[in-house]
Amino acid sequence: MKKRLFAILSSFMLILMSFPMTSFANGWDDPTHPGWGDGEKVKHGWIVNKINHMTLEEKIGQLFVIHMYGETPTDPNYEDTNLRMNRGAKNFEKAIEKYHIGGVIYFNWTGNIGTPIDTTQVNALSNGLQDIAMDQRMPIPLFISTDQEGGIVQRITSPGTVFPGNMALGATRSTEYATQSAAIMGEELSSLGINMNFAPVADVNVNPENPVIGVRSFSEDPDLVSDLTVAQVQAYEDQSVIPTAKHFPGHGDTNVDSHYGLPIINHDLETLHNVDLKPFQAAIDNGIDAIMTAHIVVPALDDSGLPATLSKPILQGLLREEMGFEGLIVTDSLGMSGANVVEPDRVAVEAFKAGNDILLNPPNVEVAYNAVLEAVQSGEISEDRVNKSVYRILKAKMKKGLFGDTYTDPSEIENIGTEENLAKATEIANKTITLVKNENNLLPLVDDSSLFITGPSAGDPDYLSDLLREKGYDSSDYATNTSPSSNQIAEATSRAEDADKIIVTTYTANTNNAQQRLVESLMETGKPVIVTAVRNPYDIMVFPEVDGYLATYGNRDVSIEALARVLSGEVNPEGKLPVTIPELYEFGDYLSY
């Protein structure tokens, strides 16, 4: 099949090359573009001729990257779900045939990727989808994408290699670790046939109450974010995976989640250029192929009240013209509330008119596709504008070699979760844990004191307790809800009375009143209380009197295991705060044993 497809494609390319080379715009895609050699001109001519032989429907389809439910291209178990959830077709195969889509995005909750992952199934799904795409009238390979940021947003988990997230990497200050983690994640994605990753996050997190970015950001320092972003961009590209810096023009200073509302960033132009935009400019200067937009309003850049995803001044005026970006502009998911500030059937149209090339994850595939198609047919959107985006899409696919070979050998899954990769994740995790406070040298836990470990189940107090018991500690545990009830707080406090020391695994407690009450109640026992923040590092803002405080920047097993090593003294903490904890601790603060 692989050889047959390659032969067909090669013949098709030769036929297309016989057509005269045309151009539909006198801009960066002109064959006389400065600096273009003969090779670039040949590629340009091939892409333009391919576009000239596409129907309008095929061109519109290339603009869309959608999600579908299913473990296989024709999974019968999800047909009703796909139709009920407005996927526009009963399975992947029918969606490709009907809408000529440019790509798909995998999620855990759609059944594409299991938890734990079945690597053979995902590899076969990717190959099956590409076979279908290359068997169409106009054979064009798919973008097969996912969100593999590391840390709390990681679709490929065990038995794959799970890494601490971005802010944990920021605590190490190491571009080498950023490179190594992205290289391994990129290799494992590629082994599954996934060729596009919506990462890294280039947002600069400066707001302790940020509910959607937080530890997904490397740091509050724009230079550190820039350095680690560029390192990961290059690492993904080296693995033939298209990286996507997000969320432009910067989602780091908000207390509203754009999944559920419309955030407003009130930075002035100077702050925007010196902070928010800096990592994106660094990525552009280093040749990144794709940038994802944010559903955020930035009045200093566009006073219309529209989110960046729908803003022509932000995408065309700033990103294209001022910052010089020539690659793919990708919307964040069009199903998010922050994008839906116009009529539902107009969101995809307005996003495309604003300057996006790829329309990601529309909530109703048929409605979005038909709306864009009708906007072109009516003249609201010119076909030349469509051609420009399709050109960028095909150029990116060609650059990654997808037209040459879409097949991913099943044997490549042997690269996933190797001993070497897992060891590297452990090494990095050990360097991320940050010790912020250690009154009376409570840590490391070198005596035979009994321990009581509690906190929300998201903080994994039971797993931490198990790890410490394996190391010989007398440890009991009790998990609560994310927002502990009054009864749970009372139960935890009662159990704590029998222990010598208390460890609380908090999970964004700085914005959770119930977790704050839990910690305060435990402090009233008079026992030493050590808080380990297993998501955002800002929790100590609301209970600064605790006796000990550490930050892990994530609750993945790899981070909890590193925390246990630090608590026991097997590992000396080296992580440095990548953010300021207002009025308490400065950027870069840390303690060691």
pLDDT, tens only, 434-476: 999 999 999 999 888 899 999 999 999 999 999 999 999 999 9
Summary mean pLDDT of the chain: 94
Q: Rounded to an integer, what distance in angstroms lies between the CA atom of residue 440 and that of residue 28? A: 64
Across 205-222, b (16+ Cβ under 10 Å) vs e yields bbbbebbbbbbbbbbbbb
What was the pLDDT predicted at 199?
A: 98
Tell me, yes or no, whether 225 lies in a domain.
yes
Q: Rounded to an integer, what distance in angstroms lies between the CA atom of residue 464 and that of residue 458? A: 12
What was the pLDDT predicted at 15?
A: 42
Q: What is the CATH number of the domain that holds 488?
A: 3.40.50.1700
Confidence of residue 573 (pLDDT cuts 50, 70, 90): very high
Q: What is the pLDDT of residues 102-126, one digit of tens each?
A: 999 999 999 999 999 999 999 999 9
Q: Which of 32-36, 310-314, 361-365 has the lowest mean pLDDT?
A: 32-36
Across 455-484, b (16+ Cβ under 10 Å) vs e yields bbebbbbbbbbebbbeeebebbbbbbeeeb
- Do residues 159 and 292 share a domain? yes
What was the pLDDT predicted at 237?
A: 97
Confidence of residue 256 (pLDDT cuts 50, 70, 90): confident
Tell me, yes or no, whether 373 lies in a domain.
yes
How many Cα atoms occupy the beta-carbon half-sphere of 396 within 13 Å? 31
- Do residues 274 and 339 share a domain? yes
Tell me, yes or no, whether 498 lies in a domain.
yes
- Do residues 158 and 266 share a domain? yes
Q: Rounded to an integer, what distance in angstroms lies between the CA atom of residue 185 and that of residue 390? A: 28
Domain that holds residue 241: 58-420
Last residue of a domain, one of 392, 420, 448: 420
Amino acid at 145: S
Compute the average pLDDT of residues 472-487: 98
Q: What is the pLDDT of residues 390-419, one digit of tens each?
A: 999 999 999 999 998 999 999 999 999 999
Confidence check: pLDDT of 26 > 50 = no
Tell me, yes or no, whether 21 lies in a domain.
no
DSSP 147-160: -EEETTEESS-TTS
Sign of CA dihedral 399, 403, 404, 407: positive
Tell me, yes or no, whether 401 lies in a domain.
yes
Compute the average pLDDT of residues 136-162: 97
Element (H, E) at 143: strand 143-146
Q: What is the pLDDT of residues 262-287, one digit of tens each?
A: 999 999 999 999 999 999 999 999 99
Looking at the annotation, which residues are catalytic? 259, 332
- Do residues 414 and 528 share a domain? no
Confidence of residue 257 (pLDDT cuts 50, 70, 90): confident
- Do residues 284 and 135 share a domain? yes
Confidence check: pLDDT of 34 > 80 = no
What was the pLDDT predicted at 36?
A: 52
Last residue of a domain, one of 387, 420, 453: 420
Tell me, yes or no, whether 337 lies in a domain.
yes
- Do residues 440 and 383 share a domain? no
DSSP 483-513: S--HHHHHHHHHHHTT-SEEEEEESSGGG-H
Compute the average pLDDT of residues 144-156: 97
Q: What is the pLDDT of residues 310-329, one digit of tens each?
A: 999 999 999 999 999 999 99
Tell me which DSSP letter residue 390 carries.
H
What was the pLDDT predicted at 33?
A: 52
What was the pLDDT predicted at 567?
A: 98
Q: Is 37 exposed, middle or buried (0-12, 13-18, 19+ CB in 10 A)?
A: exposed
- Do residues 79 and 116 share a domain? yes
Q: What is the pTM of this model?
A: 0.93
Compute the average pLDDT of residues 361-366: 98
Q: What is the pLDDT of residues 494-517, one digit of tens each?
A: 999 999 999 999 999 999 999 999
Tell me, yes or no, whether 9 lies in a domain.
no
Q: What is the pLDDT of residues 205-247, one digit of tens each?
A: 999 999 899 999 999 999 999 999 999 999 999 999 999 999 9
Specify the 3-state DSSP secondary structure of 293. Answer: strand
Tell me, yes or no, whether 84 lies in a domain.
yes
Specify the 3-state DSSP secondary structure of 550. Answer: strand
- Do residues 550 and 450 share a domain? yes
Q: What is the pLDDT of residues 164-183, one digit of tens each?
A: 999 999 999 999 999 999 99
Compute the average pLDDT of residues 477-498: 97
Tell me which DSSP letter residue 264 carries.
B
Partners of residue 505 on adjacent β-strands = 532
Query: Which residues neighbour 447 within 8 Å (Cβ) at sequence distance 6 or greater?
Result: none
Number of domains forming the structure of the chain = 2
- Do residues 416 and 480 share a domain? no
- Do residues 449 and 328 share a domain? no
Q: What angle do CA 302, 303, 305 make, to 5 degrees?
A: 95
* 199, 243 contact by CB (below 8 A): yes
Q: What is the CATH number of the domain that holds 108?
A: 3.20.20.300
DSSP 69-100: --SSTT-GGGHHHHHHTT-SSSSHHHHHHHH-
- The two tokens of residue 578 are 């990548």
- Do residues 463 and 522 share a domain? yes
Confidence of residue 43 (pLDDT cuts 50, 70, 90): confident
Last residue of a domain, one of 420, 453, 473: 420
- Do residues 472 and 529 share a domain? yes
